[in-house]
Structures are given as C-alpha cells and as structure tokens.
C-alpha cells in the first residue's frame, strides 16, 4: 500500500501522545550534545499548578526527577527513546554538572536586564532557558569549591540568585511544568555539535550587580 505523505508522521505522533517534538529534543540533548537527561515527574493532571509527586508543598512542581531519581540521568539513546515514548508529557530534566552545563538562574525581569548588560559589554552568551517567572543562563561546569570562592569574594549575594551545579537539575524545553511552559529565551545555534556556554564568573558578576541595583533580593518562583 502506498504511504500517504505525512500520514506515518501523524500516526507516530499520536502513538507518542503528540510528543514527537519532545522525543526529538530529548534525543538531541542526549545523543548529539551528550547531556545526561531523564524525565521529570510532571504536573498534576487534575491541578496543573501542583506537582504529581507526594510532596504537597513542592516548590518546583513537575520540574524535578522523582521516579527514576537523578542518578538515572543518561545519554543512552534507547533509554531516552523508551522514556518519552512511554511518558510523552514528562518534562525533560538535565542533570547539571559533570560534563554537562551548569546554570545560574534569577527572576525573569532581572534576567532580561542581565542579558542586556552582558551583551552591552560585548560578552558572548550561550543558551538561556526561560519559564514565565525565572530564566536560567547556561554556563560551563564548575565545582562547588570554585563557586564558593566566587561568592565569598562578593560583599552581598542576593537570595534571588540560584545555582544549578553538580548534583543539581534543570528542566529543558519543550517542557510543561506547574510554573508554566519552559522555552528557549536564547536558543542554541541550529546544528550545534554541542552549544557553547560561558564561564560562570562573568554571569555571576553581572547577575549580582543587576539584582543589587534593582533591589531584587528575595527568592521568587
């Protein structure tokens, strides 16, 4: 029987619960960029702003590992394909650190200003992950010791600043979480073998300065 153009793709998309875009993204992260990933727990189907995990006070609803745990993060194509074929709505969660990027995140409005400052200085930025309330600037892997030395040198570090380093995680696009959709505010260049990311120092310097000047010191969503 002659295959109708596009029909097979639509059937596969339905079979995956409409998640072919997510499968493609997950495979790019894991197999092309060699970023270890795993599925997030997802938001509660009955109450999307809440998490499907057992913690009623979960602060990152739908955007964290649960089953499997973070240590299961992998770059194995078969495992990644199996996860998102069986759980097409699951967020894509990056296990940060090691050989994978880390991230510095801050409230969205302050992050937008930080990006303007960085670009105004002629500094190069890598990919930026955004949710409605917070943006995360991907940076090169760093150790806790290095981060500690960097922050110790600061007179003040606003509490609104968060770090996703070794042993941490970050939801990647395209993912739906209890805090909203995750998308690229600054997308990786198409066809990248592995996206370039800046060192953490430059990003932290600008982020601390912007948060201090704007008076954003308390953590937000």
Total domains, the chain: 1
**Per-residue pLDDT averaged across 149-165, rounded?**
91
Across 4-8, 12-16, 124-128, the highest mean pLDDT is recorded for 124-128
Residue with tokens 């800046």: 198
pLDDT band at residue 220 under the 50/70/90 scheme: low
Domain span including residue 154: 7-214
pLDDT at 12 over 50: no
For residue 163, being part of any structural domain is answered with: yes
pTM of this prediction? Answer: 0.86
- State the distance between the two ends of the chain, measured CA to CA, in whole angstroms: 53
For residue 220, being part of any structural domain is answered with: no
For residue 221, being part of any structural domain is answered with: no
pLDDT band at residue 216 under the 50/70/90 scheme: low
Q: Tell me the C-alpha distance between 202 and 198, whole Å.
A: 8
pLDDT band at residue 212 under the 50/70/90 scheme: confident
What is each CA distance from 99 to 54, 62, 208, in whole angstroms?
31, 25, 26
For residue 1, being part of any structural domain is answered with: no
pLDDT in tens, 37-92: 999 998 877 888 888 889 988 988 989 999 899 999 999 999 999 999 999 989 99
What are the start-end ranges of the E strands in 11-63? Answer: 37-39
Q: What is the pLDDT of residue 97?
A: 95
- Helix, strand or coil for residue 213? helix
CA 186, distance to chain mean position in Å, is 12
């Amino acid at each position: 029987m002659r295959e109708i153009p596009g029909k097979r793709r639509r059937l596969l998309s339905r079979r995956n619960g409409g998640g072919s875009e997510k499968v493609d993204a997950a495979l790019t992260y894991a197999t092309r960029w060699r970023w270890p990933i795993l599925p997030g727990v997802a938001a509660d189907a009955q109450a999307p702003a809440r998490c499907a995990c057992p913690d009623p006070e979960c602060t990152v609803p739908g955007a964290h590992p649960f089953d499997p745990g973070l240590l299961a993060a992998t770059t194995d194509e078969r495992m990644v394909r199996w996860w998102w074929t069986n759980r097409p709505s699951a967020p894509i969660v990056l296990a940060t650190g090691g050989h994978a990027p880390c991230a510095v995140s801050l409230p969205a409005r302050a992050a937008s200003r930080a990006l303007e400052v960085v670009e105004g200085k002629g500094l190069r930025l890598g990919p930026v992950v955004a949710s409605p309330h917070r943006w995360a600037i991907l940076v090169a892997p760093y150790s806790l010791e290095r981060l500690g030395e960097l922050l110790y040198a600061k007179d003040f570090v606003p509490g609104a600043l968060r770090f996703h380093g070794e042993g941490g995680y970050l939801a990647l696009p395209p993912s739906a979480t209890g805090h909203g959709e995750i998308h690229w505010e600054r997308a990786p260049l198409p066809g990248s073998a592995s996206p370039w990311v800046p060192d953490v120092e430059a990003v932290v310097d600008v982020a601390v300065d912007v948060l201090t000047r704007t008076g954003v010191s308390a953590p937000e969503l």
